[in-house]
Structure 1
Amino acid sequence: MTDVDVLVVGPTSENQIVLLDELPRPEPHTVFARSTTTALGGTSAGKALHLVDRGVATMLLTTQGDDATGEGLMDALRGCGIDLRAVRTDGPSERHLNLMSARGERVSIYLQAAGAIPEEELRRARATAREALAQARAVFLDLSELSRRLIPEVSALAHEVWVDLHDYDGEEAFHRPFLEAADVVLMNGDRIDAPSTYLRGLVADGKTLAVCTLGARGAIAVGPDGSFARVEAPKVDVVDPNGAGDAFAAGVMSHALRVGGAAALTGDALWEALEAGSAQAVRAITSRQLSPLLDAPRAPRP
């Protein structure tokens, strides 16, 4: 096994992205798209790409459908320098339709969910995770069935567990096992009331670090010592807002690794981590793909 600083576990998908002036109203009507593209997607693929872009040795443990689409997605990720381990699922690869507004709002529609994971593939995934966790400094556990099935291994072996709860509302049952396993919690503020209060509560309850992105209002965080930091959203010409949150998470994590882990993000280091996240988010939103690494020439398939 190659050197691994971070293990990322979770989904990769093919995304059809439709850019609109604004998201459709909840009533019958016709709208015209600004553009439509098909691209590599998936929250874990995005994090892995941006961690590699930050110079972090990254293994991605992800699902792959039994079709040519899945093969193409895996080849693209390997070509960007990711140590990729594919877990074969029954049926086609995961596919999404993302409706995007000019302001970066998104409605994601699952056209094809990831198929079931055969037991033999799950055994291989557990063995791969155990081997990677023996040397990885941290693991990013994304919301997915594969990740949920690996929570026992991650909880027992990981040095530091990062979890992205996305648009968690503070109550949804599906998120609870991930929240309980996490040392570091990231989320967005789309469905949570009083996000700063919620983050403070997470740290008071024993989490090392809690971070919430707020779209055009930037991002906030509460560090292990209870310190609070905020950054404004960068003012740039947005090409494609897809993947901004995953790039932000990768920037924060890479800075944490650089200074000794999430427990070291106190005082100025906490603000610097948010700044690193914002800088990496710019890399995503000024690219026409999930990461500018996907624009680089592909390496030959091993």
Structure 2
Amino acid sequence: MTARAGDHDVLVLGGAGVDTIVHVPELPLPYADSYMIDSGIRTRAGQTGDFVSVGLAALGLRTHHLDLLGDDPEGDLVRALHRERGIGLTALPQPAGTKRAVNLVGPDGRRLSLYDTSRSHPGDRFPQELLRDLARAGRHVHVTITQPCAEALPVLAGTGVPLSTDLHDWDGENPYHEPFALAADVVFLSAAALDDPERTMRRIAGRGRAEVVVATAGAEGAHLLADGELTRIPAVPPPAPVVDSNGAGDAFAAAFLYGRLTGEPPARCARFGAVAGAYACTVPATRTEAVGRDELLAGAARSAV
């Protein structure tokens, strides 16, 4: 495949897969020989790259997704999701199979994810020419931290296309995340595992190329570091009852990038992210759904009052 300039706005790299959703009576789940799951156990397409892609597309950004997929039922679910949402997909063959996870979801919407790391090989790589073509065909690249995206970072840096990444629940120390943190122009992460979010955020900005660093903090909002200034972004009340936190960080990133690519200042981009993240918490884990542009803008207007 050879991409043409202007084919898409954003290339999303990695993070395609399926989740099996199990609603449990509480988290942590006490040991028992068995549990009866009356709500059912369901498998649907949607991991971090899929969620970001769906979020971007729902906001009107032309989106292309590149990853490795297996020739298996799980891969078929991922392909169908992209087809249904009008999202371009380049799926390279993955003999080990499509990435998958099991998500245990508690009554309060909290999630425990069990990732199957056997669905990749150490030698997996994205073809460099294909990667360059797809990156240069767009305005922005969002890089997930799934394997083998780390090996793609030097190639992407050479294209000159702006990069973003999401470090998820990085503790600020794990060396696996550092190449992503230092290579991206926009860095998202969760504050959940950080004792001092500001210290980690300033370290990312000081050592890498990040112009903006955002640490999300759930119901406490988010921390925004832009132009050397740390700002607290308040949380936005969800538009419906909270049922699941899965995908909230991906929704935040997608809406932030929508704001950035439409010329909004960082604080307004972060407000967009807060609105989208709150919306995502109202979507059951068994669905892959994102806030639309009209609802995002209306929510951002309400939160500014």
Query: What TM-score do the two structures reach when normalised by structure 2?
Result: 0.84
2:273 is aligned, of 277, 290, 294, to 277
Aligned counterparts of 1:29 and 1:72: Cα–Cα separation in 2 = 31
1:176 CA displacement: 1.7
Aligned counterparts of 1:62 and 1:49: Cα–Cα separation in 2 = 15
1:75 is aligned, of 75, 80, 83, to 80
1:165 CA displacement: 0.4
- Change over 3 Å in CA distance of 1:233–1:195 after alignment to 2: farther
Deviations 1:69-100 (A, max 9, x none): 21231122122011111021112222111112
Q: Which residue of 1 aligns with 2:301?
A: none
1:148 is aligned, of 142, 147, 150, to 150
1:291 is aligned, of 274, 289, 292, to 289
Aligned counterparts of 2:214 and 2:55: Cα–Cα separation in 1 = 18
The yes-or-no answer on 1:243 pairing with 2:247 is yes
The yes-or-no answer on 1:212 pairing with 2:215 is yes
Q: Which residue of 2 aligns with 1:110?
A: 115
- Change over 3 Å in CA distance of 1:22–1:233 after alignment to 2: farther
Q: Which residue of 1 aligns with 2:303?
A: none
Which one is further off, 281-290 or 244-253? 281-290
1:229 is aligned, of 229, 232, 252, to 232
For the aligned residues, what is the CA RMSD? 2.4
Which one is further off, 98-107 or 133-142? 98-107
Are the equivalent residues in 2 in contact too, given 1:6–1:136 (CA < 8 A)?
Answer: yes
The yes-or-no answer on 1:135 pairing with 2:162 is no
Which one is further off, 21-30 or 107-116? 21-30
SS of alignment partner, residue 199 of structure 1:
helix
Aligned counterparts of 1:33 and 1:201: Cα–Cα separation in 2 = 44
1:187 is aligned, of 175, 183, 189, to 189
1:91 is aligned, of 74, 92, 96, to 96
The yes-or-no answer on 1:254 pairing with 2:252 is no
Q: Which residue of 2 aligns with 1:24?
A: 28
1:212 CA displacement: 0.9
1:5-84 to structure 2, matched below 5 A, reads 5-25=9-29, 33=37, 35=39, 36-84=41-89
Deviations 1:40-82 (A, max 9, x none): 1210011011000111111100120121321231122122011
Identity %: 29
| Structure 1 runs of 4+ with >6 Å offset | none
Aligned counterparts of 1:219 and 1:24: Cα–Cα separation in 2 = 25
1:160 CA displacement: 1.2
- Change over 3 Å in CA distance of 1:213–1:31 after alignment to 2: farther
Query: What TM-score do the two structures reach when normalised by structure 1?
Result: 0.84
- Residue identity in the other structure for 1:226: E
Aligned residues: 282
SS of alignment partner, residue 15 of structure 2:
coil
SS of alignment partner, residue 148 of structure 2:
helix
- Residue identity in the other structure for 2:111: R
Deviations 1:225-247 (A, max 9, x none): 42423121423312432211101
Which one is further off, 213-222 or 105-114? 105-114
Q: Which residue of 2 aligns with 1:165?
A: 167
Are the equivalent residues in 2 in contact too, given 1:88–1:117 (CA < 8 A)?
Answer: no
- Change over 3 Å in CA distance of 1:257–1:20 after alignment to 2: same
